[in-house]
Amino acid sequence: MNLPENVKRLMRQLRESGYTAYAVGGCVRDTLLGRAPKDWDLCTSAQPEEMKRVFAGERVLETGLKHGTLTVLVDHEPYEITTYRVDGPYTDHRHPDSVSFVDRIDGDLARRDFTINAMACGEDGEVLDLFDGQRDLAAGTIRCVGNPEKRFEEDALRMMRALRFASRYDFAIEAETDRAIRKMFPTLEKVAGERLRVELLGMLQGVGAGRMLRAYPEVITFLIPCLKEEIGYDQANPHHLYTLWEHTVRAVEEAPADPVLRMTMLMHDCGKPASRVTDEKGIGHYPGHQTVSARLTEPILEKLHFDRGSADRILKLIEGHDIPLSPERKIMLRRLNQFGEEDLRALFLVHRADRIATGTRSPEHARERARELTEALDALLAEKPCFTVKDLAVNGHDLMEQGYRGPNIGRALTGLLDAVMDGQTENTREALLARLDGKK
């Protein structure tokens, strides 16, 4: 295996000071898969203080030093170098009670989660593969290092990591590992929300997202209980060919691999069961389910520690997932005003995914519709149209000069904006001042 020059240089420096060192984990796995690694992590027999001495002349970050990690910056790129460690006992299903530094790599590899993540590569390019990671890479298998139940008992997050890696590489989860996940998933309760979020979003964005959602609904609904009712739920509606869960899974698969969009699709219909009205013909209708979905989603996003910006976008897109859209100028301006450009473009993709996932509408038609909306939006934006109060040719000061006060200022501006978006007036100072309603 070929290592980058910078990595070899760091390893050589450690070797020349009398230590061993390897590239390890994700970078070895990804290189063997023919993918570009996100970053290069090294491990070494040098203790933290010894690493500091070896790299005394370099730009380093010591933030992880007490966990054994020194970051060396080479050509502005960070390289994490970590002392070989073994984990002490785990009692909380999350972290080892203690870690200890050791001078051989074997124990360090044995503590890693999956065989494909437990390979190392020496300075000479030789791969050290104590757990048959290369065999599992070639076969497309996610397999725990050691006894799966024991490994998940130590750190429950590894179960979500298994789903994430299986989704990302389109790998299968090996039978014993799979059995252990199905048995142990309730211990995910112990894991911090933000760690779960990272793995969940990674899983949702992988090529195998749909396969994982179909294979492990009990795991997903353990994390997100409000999705439980979707499993096997008959929508009883001629526009829908699939159960609610299958529709949801397809909607996730149809959306671009983006965290906000995929999370939106996962949650968009969770309010349907609670909103159901069945008419005299036995057809299910779901009035207002968008709002219920958004309301049920909010605490989930909080529990998973989504940042405020992403959470707001997801909630807005869920709320808008059925709103009428049209290339017509008037309606497009309203939507721009409501959603802003970025979210409106995202909304087109949400609608597209949702329609395709019904199983009753032509996917080609849904795609054509999204293209048409995007083109209409592009053309409209090229005109630099007015769609917010800020774009108006008059502002609050102008209205104050006309004698408007307090909340009447905002009300008058909104009225003017409506008139401009509806094409009833030009957006010029004279035209707008002439239109004022006099309700000061």
Residues in contact with ligand ATP by the rule CB under 6 A: 25-26, 38, 112-113, 117-118, 155, 157-158
The candidate with the shortest Cα–Cα distance to 108, out of 42, 156, 50, is 42
Nearer residue to ligand ATP within complex by CB, 117 or 235: 117
With CB under 5 to 8 Å by kind, the binding choice for 158 among Mg ion, ligand ATP, none is ligand ATP
With CB under 5 to 8 Å by kind, the binding choice for 117 among ligand ATP, Mg ion, none is ligand ATP
317, 350 contact by CB (below 8 A) = yes
Which residues are CB-contacts of 227 (< 8 A; sequence separation ≥ 6)? 217, 220, 221, 245, 248, 266, 267, 270
Nearest distance from C-beta of residue 109 to ligand ATP, angstroms: 8
Nearer residue to Mg ion within complex by CB, 61 or 175: 61
With CB under 5 to 8 Å by kind, the binding choice for 113 among ligand ATP, Mg ion, none is ligand ATP
54 residue type, one letter: V
- Give the span between the Cα atoms of 30 and 27, in whole angstroms: 5
Task: Find how far residue 366's CA is from the centre of its chain.
Answer: 24
How many C-beta atoms surround the C-beta of residue 97 within 10 A?
10
- Give the span between the Cα atoms of 161 and 129, in whole angstroms: 20
The candidate with the shortest Cα–Cα distance to 314, out of 258, 240, 248, is 258
Q: What stretch of H or E contains 338?
A: helix 329-356
Nearest distance from C-beta of residue 37 to Mg ion, angstroms: 8
Which residues are CB-contacts of 265 (< 8 A; sequence separation ≥ 6)? 248, 251, 252, 254, 255, 350, 353, 354, 357
Nearest distance from C-beta of residue 111 to ligand ATP, angstroms: 6
Nearer residue to ligand ATP within complex by CB, 26 or 284: 26
With CB under 5 to 8 Å by kind, the binding choice for 157 among Mg ion, ligand ATP, none is ligand ATP
- Give the span between the Cα atoms of 245 and 249, in whole angstroms: 6
Nearest distance from C-beta of residue 80 to Mg ion, angstroms: 9
Decide: is 202 part of the binding site for Mg ion (CB under 5 A).
no
46, 19 contact by CB (below 8 A) = yes
Residue from 11, 19, 26, 315 touching Mg ion (CB under 5 A): that is: 26
Nearer residue to Mg ion within complex by CB, 26 or 259: 26
Nearest distance from C-beta of residue 308 to ligand ATP, angstroms: 25
With CB under 5 to 8 Å by kind, the binding choice for 271 among ligand ATP, Mg ion, none is none
Nearer residue to ligand ATP within complex by CB, 108 or 123: 108
197, 304 contact by CB (below 8 A) = yes
Residue showing the smallest CB distance to ligand ATP in the complex: 26
Nearest distance from C-beta of residue 39 to Mg ion, angstroms: 6
Nearer residue to ligand ATP within complex by CB, 160 or 347: 160
Nearest distance from C-beta of residue 192 to ligand ATP, angstroms: 12
10, 74 contact by CB (below 8 A) = yes
With CB under 5 to 8 Å by kind, the binding choice for 11 among Mg ion, ligand ATP, none is none
